[in-house]
Structures are given as structure tokens and as C-alpha cells.
Amino acid sequence: MSNKPATVSRALARELKRIDEKMSREGGIPHEVVRQEWLADMATELRKMVDAFERTGRGAKDLLEALVIAETEGVDAALLADIRRELGHRVKKRRVA
């Protein structure tokens, strides 16, 4: 591990300072906004997993686990149903082919 302090570019430092000043003035981002973005990211990652799904035991286990976690955390049920349908179509296509 390096003993050197972390460094950032001048542009990144300006951006971080701008964000800090904005958060200080406006009081930060509401938790619900952060949570909604997180759930949207979770749904996006699920779609990517479905697109990359290979019919292996490990792949199926990982995908099932991700679906259960998303459902438990509160990803929109209609969105999850759409993702499951998409997965079903992919699996069905492979069986027929």
C-alpha cells in the first residue's frame, strides 16, 4: 500500500468543491431520491445480467439471487415482471434453437 496521499486532477477538485458548496447550501440529497436512483441502477444491472445470461448453474443461481434481492429491496414489481418475461423469452429461444 502506498504512503502517498491521494491526488485528484484540478478539474475533479473543482467539481468536488462545487458539489460540496451546493450540498452545504441546499442541505444534501433526500434519502428517497438516493434510494430511487439505487433501485433504478439495480434494475439496469438485472437487465444486463439477463442479456449476458448463459445457461449455467452458476449463472442461473446468480441471476435468481439478484432477482430475489431486487424484489426484497422494492424494485418496481411491474419492472421485475418485465425482466422475468424477457428472461423467459431468452430461455425459450435457446430451447427451440
Contact 34, 70 (CB under 8 A): no
CA gap 25, 83 in Å, rounded: 40
Per-residue confidence (pLDDT) for residue 1, from 0 to 100: 60
Tens digit of each residue's pLDDT (9 = 90 or more) over 11-65: 999 999 998 898 888 887 888 999 999 999 999 999 999 888 877 778 888 888 9
pLDDT given for residue 91 in this prediction: 78
Residue 96 in this model has a pLDDT that exceeds 80: no
Q: Report whether pLDDT(94) > 70.
A: no
**Which residue's C-alpha cell is 434494475?**
43
Measured CA to CA in angstroms, residue 79 lies from 15, 26, 48 at distances of 34, 32, 14
pLDDT confidence tier of residue 97, bands split at 50, 70 and 90: low
HSE-CB for 77 with a 13 A CA cutoff? 0
For the chain, the structural domain boundaries read 30-96
